[in-house]
Structure 1
Amino acid sequence: MGNPEYVFASTNNVDSTHRVAIPPPQPFVKSMKNMLKETFFPDDPLRQFKNQPPMRKFILGLQYLFPILEWGPRYSFEFFKSDLIAGITIASLAIPQGISYAKLANLPPILGLYSSFVPPLIYAIMGSSRDLAVGTVAVGSLLINSMLSNEVNANENPKLYLHLAFTATFFAGLLEAALGIFRLGFIVDFLSHATIVGFMGGAATVVCLQQLKGILGLDHFTHATDVVSVMRSVFSQTHKWRWESAVLGCCFLFYLLLARHFSKKKPKLFWISAMAPLTSVILGSLLVYLTHAERHGVEVIGHLKKGINPPSIMDLQFGSQYLTATMKTGIVTGIIGLAEGIAVGRSFAMYKNYQIDGNKEMIAFGMMNIVGSCTSCYLTAGPFSRSAVNFNAGCKTAVSNIVMAFAVMITLLFLTPLFHYTPLVVLSSIIIAAMLGLIDYEAAIHLWHIDKFDFVVCMSAYVGVIFGNIEIGLIMAVGLSILRVLLFVARPRTLVLGNIPNSKIYRNVDQYPNTNNVPGVLILEIDAPIYFANASYLRERISRWIDDEEDKLKSSGETNLQYVILDMSAVGNIDTSGISMLDEVEKNTERRGLKLVLANPGAEVMKKMNKSKFLEKIGQEWIFLTVGEAVGTCNYMLHTFKPKRAADESNV
């Protein structure tokens, strides 16, 4: 097939089309500045500082760093009444949970109370969420235990293990604050919803299984977190199971689950579930004290010293041989803590119709962990269970965290001796009850129905955690999520478009089977930016579409293919490899005796096609604002100016 010669006449039909504009050139520095601004400052945090006097800018700067200065002057007594009730309610949950999670991290139980005192005060000053309740989290505690136990045995060298936990918390805070300061929060977005569902479910399963040590009253237990090692450790010691501990644990677990079920049925009675852990601790302690159960195999917490947080800044281990391990632990726990805390904060903000600033949250999380590591605290975040109680209790501002912190302070100063007889089996029951709520099987089923690949990501995280370890599960899930993104980039969709009857609308023929083909015209939509990673694939895919269309027309005896229209509405950007691909496609269509036509290329695409001289080659008159205009012109040319083709069609 020879090359066609087209004559473009000045007719009303052709002139009525609107030409695609080429954006004015921008200096490289300005273009780069705009790109970086959109990447790192999409919310334009400096817009409120524009056209403001210096003093006002200083005040706005302080309010940006410390949101309490913004809403504090408007705080009312009505708000305080609500926050007081919410703070006392979450304190009743924070105290037993804090002790339980510290044991889960293989740390002294008192650290759970320390971590519920200082960090909430920092967050109340710097956080932007009204509903987030700060404290220790089960998954973070498990991560610290599993990752640091590979380096140091907490039973053999508890002091070093404790210092490494403080150091890991410091690095977690440093990472979180840095992500917020340098506006790198989009890194957390690589933890997709499917990844978090699977990871949290796997971690919760492992945590529940590990609590069998406390439920069964075992003294020796594996440090591994995979299900095989845990079950082997459980069933290899059947002769050491203590029925007294098991009965007590099952009774309290049943009580906790019953209280939660009752609160779900009647949301107004949420306080029953919130108070259940504290009442379990009180009842368990009374039972042990009155029956002397500690003499019959029921282990108790023992002595907890009075007093608020002692300083621990001198305990940070920056020069030890374990620095790499603590940094690794801090990075992993910091990212997981951020992902959970920001997701929880955004969820409750959506219910109350207000916005939280993700970067402010990262800075707040980072500062509370940095300060916490210097005041005998370990990793803290925004746990869902505590925040849900705070939300249901009617909190109005972050003052509820301050109330909780003061309640914990009173406990540290005066009430710690009361926890001496608290049985460890009750703490295990509290942890299991909390973790069962993190195994969201309904979300996994929903993923299966909506997106099978997301379900695979979810299950890979779950299986990796329970059969490998925390790091393996996380790496598998994140790796699969990134692989999916790369596949989207490397293998974008190309769609054949047809005309919706009685309209000038063109849509995917697979989605709308009733569309009509345009005789002599093949319309293709490219559904992604064109980069080096997908340029070769797109070139080959477009060539195959042309081959398939010509074969179909030849077999049906319809009008020969004359035009190939590329709808570039979804092509937001293009690189030099993409320009080269379009150049090759144009040459290929010309060799076939076809004309390449472009529809609705974006500003960046037009700018780069102009600079590369591709516009001169294809002819700017063959670039249209819409597919409808492109088809109209092609139809006009087909009916008015018949292309001159080579006389000998047998050479095709």
Structure 2
Amino acid sequence: MFVKVLISFSRLGKLIVMGHSFSDKDESKEPDIASLSYSHHNTENARYVYKVGFPPKRNFIAEITDRVKETFFADDPLHRYKDQPRSRKLMLGLQYFFPILEWGRHYNLGKFKGDLIAGLTIASLCIPQDIGYAKLANLDPQYGLYSSFVPPLIYSVMGSSKDLAIGPVAVVSLLLGTLLQNELDPVKDKEEYRRLAFTATFFAGITQAALGFLRLGFLIEFLSHAAIVGFMAGAAITIALQQLKGFLGIQKFTKKTDIISVMRSVWGSAQHGWNWQTIIIGATFLAFLLFAKYIGKKRKNLFWVSAIAPLLSVIISTFFVYITRADKHGVQIVKKIEKGLNPSSIHQIHFTGSYAAKGFRIGVVAGMIGLTEAIAIGRTFAAMKDYQLDGNKEMFALGTMNTIGSMASCYVATGSFSRSAVNFMSGCNTTVSNMVMSSVVLLTLVLITPLFKYTPNAILSSIIISAVIGLIDYEAAYLIWKVDKLDFIACMGAFFGVVFESVEIGLLIAVSISLAKILLQVTRPRTALLGNLPRTTVYRNIEQYPEATKVPGVLIVRVDSAIYFSNSNYVKERILRWLRDEEEQLKAKNLPRIDFLIVEMSPVTDIDTSGIHALEELCKSLQKRNVQLGLANPGPVVIDKLRLANFTELIGQDNIFLTVGEAVMAFAPKPLQDA
């Protein structure tokens, strides 16, 4: 008799022998909380089994506190302050907002050598890029350099990423320029346009800092990876098309960014003739830049070739234009870059009025895109060096640097992928590399900006085109297509929205499709029919495991989502549809009807009142069909709510089981024994 009992226990996947608990390795889910009370589910063949346990009662305040803590303080930022004296807490608090106070104590000459080389390398890349990116934002060239001087210094003190290189980037520059020119003409209203740019930058910084301080960083996760891939690719093509003006030497060019308007403007200008000298300069140096980038990718130790290629191109092309006076033959040049340090712009920011509202709207959009790009880049390189990046801290640092930058004639700056990659490859150790880069930009502003007077616009266009090509990640798009077709729709929606309409429309499409996907997954959760894997007590999806067999007279359905008001009615109707379809198949084959329906609730992490009401309606519908409802392995949150709503009394506590195997044993013990 004792042996028979042991065999019965092994089939259930749980047994108790001499006070010890043994688990079947094939059992997929373990209960969250279990009690050692006994239950007789079958009077003819009584067995000792675990019953579903209830979590301890908690008061409302404690529950809300835990929920808020897990939502906003999941990383437990205050753990470092526990059991610390007050003076130590103050220092730890300062180190949190100013990480330089922590790593600066251990800084040495060896680390500085790596940071110095990295800083000089990214400076050679950023100077020509900044001049070009300022034109994307419809600002004078010096404002691009200003934005690579002050913001990197602020970030060096407050940022926690060792590899992020700060400055203007192509996508944010284009987005800012597009949104600003919809409000003001950058040529006719130049001064007011500049003031609106500083206002937008100020509110972009305030938005970023507020998101970090209030720990709302999870909001930027609503823009999915697929949507970002499509948006970046579309923006890259749009930016490249915009550079055809400088690349071909076109005098009059459309202000629109969509591909149709741009190509119409390009072919329309062909009637008046393109400047062949400009085309030669642009094509020659674009080929050189692409070749240098190819060399850098093929030979990792030659990464510096692609890094210094832009500055080298500027020097050579500027010298060539100067000695040949090509500007007299239609080659457009930069003409003038203001010399000197960043002038104060506090008095130019609109803090109230209609322009403040416009600046706020533009700044929020630009700030969110800047955050998304910077944090994605920072986390990528942090994973390579195996250190953690605090997203909320990064947001606060980025927001502070843009807020201060807006008062020093800077426009929105963020992390640049191309410069960060060069920074990483150059062997940077800390944010001191940003300080070195900022110092080089300072020397450039003070000493050598007049030398850029004869720099051809064509070379700046070539530099921008070569830089944005890397934003077109066709391999990621192909992977998205293979993995998730809905994600691919989001990717292509964002891409075509940017290319054929505008940057802001593409962004809107990206966000809309990402939210639509979330709503679709929430309102239409997956359900599955489960079958028994032969010679086990394991139950799995019969589509995934064709060898899994259905239990005669029992229908087992798994719900793969929390049950909320948004999907509760669908879950109920989908379960009833499973039952109806199964009964029709059994009737056609003259097989016994379904007498029991088991709902596997392991994946159901939560349930609300609408979900409970749907289960009550399901129970009543099944009673009319003479079908008994059973629940398997509800989690602690779910079972507690079911008890509070008296649903456990409605269904009967004997019909709530720890595992699907126990439920089947109670409802149909003979088929399980035969298996």
Q: Which band: TM-score by shorter chain? A: over 0.9
Aligned equivalents of 2:285 and 2:671: distance in 1? 82
**Pairing 1:205–2:226 present:** no
Residue type at the aligned position of 2:591: E
Residues 120-141 of structure 1, C-alpha deviations (whole Å, 9 max, x = no match): 0111111111000001010111
CA contact (8 A) 1:99 1:109 kept: yes
**Pairing 1:514–2:547 present:** yes
Match of 2:645 among 571, 596, 612: 612
Aligned to 2:190: 158
**DSSP 3-state at the match of 1:570:** coil
Residues 477-529 of structure 1, C-alpha deviations (whole Å, 9 max, x = no match): 21111111111111111110001111111100001111111111111000000
Q: RCO greater where, 1 or 2, for CA within 8 Å and sep 6 or more?
A: 1
Cα shift at 1:555: 2.5
Alignment of structure 1 residues 507-546 onto 2, 5 Å: 507-546=540-579
CA contact (8 A) 1:317 1:323 kept: yes
Aligned to 2:615: 582
Alignment of structure 1 residues 91-102 onto 2, 5 Å: 91-102=123-134
**Pairing 1:466–2:499 present:** yes
Alignment of structure 1 residues 363-402 onto 2, 5 Å: 363-402=396-435
**DSSP 3-state at the match of 2:148:** coil
CA contact (8 A) 1:535 1:577 kept: yes
Aligned equivalents of 2:671 and 2:414: distance in 1? 66
**Pairing 1:36–2:68 present:** yes
Aligned equivalents of 1:596 and 1:565: distance in 2? 6
Aligned to 2:588: 555
**DSSP 3-state at the match of 1:322:** helix
Aligned equivalents of 1:316 and 1:13: distance in 2? 81
**Pairing 1:284–2:317 present:** yes
CA contact (8 A) 1:599 1:626 kept: yes
**Pairing 1:445–2:475 present:** no
**Pairing 1:491–2:524 present:** yes
Alignment of structure 1 residues 321-470 onto 2, 5 Å: 321-470=354-503
Alignment of structure 1 residues 59-74 onto 2, 5 Å: 59-74=91-106
Aligned equivalents of 1:288 and 1:22: distance in 2? 81
Cα shift at 1:563: 1.1
**Pairing 1:104–2:136 present:** yes
Aligned equivalents of 2:501 and 2:422: distance in 1? 33
Q: Give the direction of change, closer, same or farther, for the CA distance of 1:13–1:53 in structure 2 (3 Å limit).
A: farther
**DSSP 3-state at the match of 2:530:** strand
Aligned to 1:597: 630
Cα shift at 1:420: 1.3
Match of 1:180 among 212, 219, 223: 212
**DSSP 3-state at the match of 2:492:** helix
Residue type at the aligned position of 2:265: S
Cα shift at 1:225: 0.8
Aligned equivalents of 1:240 and 1:452: distance in 2? 45
Q: Percent identity?
A: 53
Aligned to 1:126: 158
Residue type at the aligned position of 2:525: P
**DSSP 3-state at the match of 1:532:** coil
Cα shift at 1:638: 8.5
Cα shift at 1:10: 7.1
Q: Where in structure 2 are there 5+ consecutive unaligned residues?
A: 1-38
Q: CA RMSD in A?
A: 1.5
**DSSP 3-state at the match of 1:107:** coil
Cα shift at 1:423: 1.0
Cα shift at 1:15: 4.4
CA contact (8 A) 1:312 1:375 kept: yes
CA contact (8 A) 1:304 1:420 kept: yes
Q: Which moved more, 1:207-216 or 1:301-310?
A: 301-310
Question: How many equivalent pairs are there?
Answer: 634
- With the length of structure 2 as denominator, give the TM-score of the two structures: 0.92
Residues 313-370 of structure 1, C-alpha deviations (whole Å, 9 max, x = no match): 1110223432332112111110110011000000011111111000011001100100
**Pairing 1:625–2:658 present:** yes
Cα shift at 1:150: 1.0
Aligned equivalents of 1:317 and 1:228: distance in 2? 35
**DSSP 3-state at the match of 2:631:** strand
- With the length of structure 1 as denominator, give the TM-score of the two structures: 0.95
Aligned equivalents of 2:99 and 2:380: distance in 1? 19
**DSSP 3-state at the match of 1:429:** helix
Aligned equivalents of 1:319 and 1:181: distance in 2? 24
Cα shift at 1:553: 2.2
Aligned equivalents of 1:421 and 1:135: distance in 2? 24
Match of 1:565 among 574, 595, 598: 598
Q: Give the direction of change, closer, same or farther, for the CA distance of 1:14–1:167 in structure 2 (3 Å limit).
A: farther
CA contact (8 A) 1:199 1:473 kept: yes
Match of 1:481 among 503, 510, 514: 514
CA contact (8 A) 2:41 2:47 kept: no
Residue type at the aligned position of 1:554: K
Q: Which moved more, 1:273-282 or 1:220-229?
A: 220-229
Aligned equivalents of 2:388 and 2:643: distance in 1? 41
Cα shift at 1:222: 1.1
Q: Which moved more, 1:342-351 or 1:312-321?
A: 312-321
Q: Give the direction of change, closer, same or farther, for the CA distance of 1:287–1:124 in structure 2 (3 Å limit).
A: same
Cα shift at 1:104: 1.3
Aligned to 2:21: none
Aligned equivalents of 1:573 and 1:34: distance in 2? 15
CA contact (8 A) 1:14 1:633 kept: no
**Pairing 1:301–2:334 present:** yes
**DSSP 3-state at the match of 2:454:** coil
